[in-house]
């Protein structure tokens, strides 16, 4: 959310505490979401949790790939040497 002030645009937000996994716990939305919004939030959070899990796996694979590429360079197996 943003507000226009004399000093310019001010962005306002509330931090929501993340749970241990890839989803925010239902309790994180208490006091924020209205009763009619809770089912919508839960459905959306299920989808976002899956996206966060996939993004985490991709990030882990990038780290592993970079480590493997570095090791290949160290061993001279980087593919730049041609017969």
DSSP 13-80: -------SSSS--GGGGTTTS-TTTHHHHHHHHHHHHHHHHHHHHHHHHHHHHHHHHHHHHHTT-SS-
| Per-residue pLDDT at 1 exceeds 70 | no
Q: Which residues contact 15 (CB under 8 A, 6 or more apart)?
A: none
Please state, in angstroms and rounded to a whole number, the distance separating the CA atoms of residues 59 and 70: 17
Q: Is the pLDDT of residue 72 over 50?
A: yes
- Model confidence over 8-56: pLDDT tens digits? 887 777 778 888 889 988 888 888 889 999 999 999 999 999 999 999 9
DSSP 2: E
**Residue 11, strand partner residues:** 2
pLDDT of residue 83: 47
Of the listed ranges 11-15, 70-74, 79-83, the one predicted with least confidence: 79-83
Cross-strand pairs, 3: 10
pLDDT of 62 > 70? The answer is yes
């Amino acid at each position: 959310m943003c507000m226009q002030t004399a000093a310019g645009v001010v962005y306002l937000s509330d931090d929501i505490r993340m749970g241990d996994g890839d989803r925010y716990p239902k309790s994180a939305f208490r006091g924020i979401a209205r009763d009619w919004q809770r089912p919508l939030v839960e459905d959306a959070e299920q989808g976002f949790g899956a996206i966060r899990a996939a993004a985490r796996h991709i990030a882990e694979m990038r780290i592993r790939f970079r480590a493997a590429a570095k090791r290949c360079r160290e061993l001279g197996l980087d593919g730049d040497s041609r017969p």
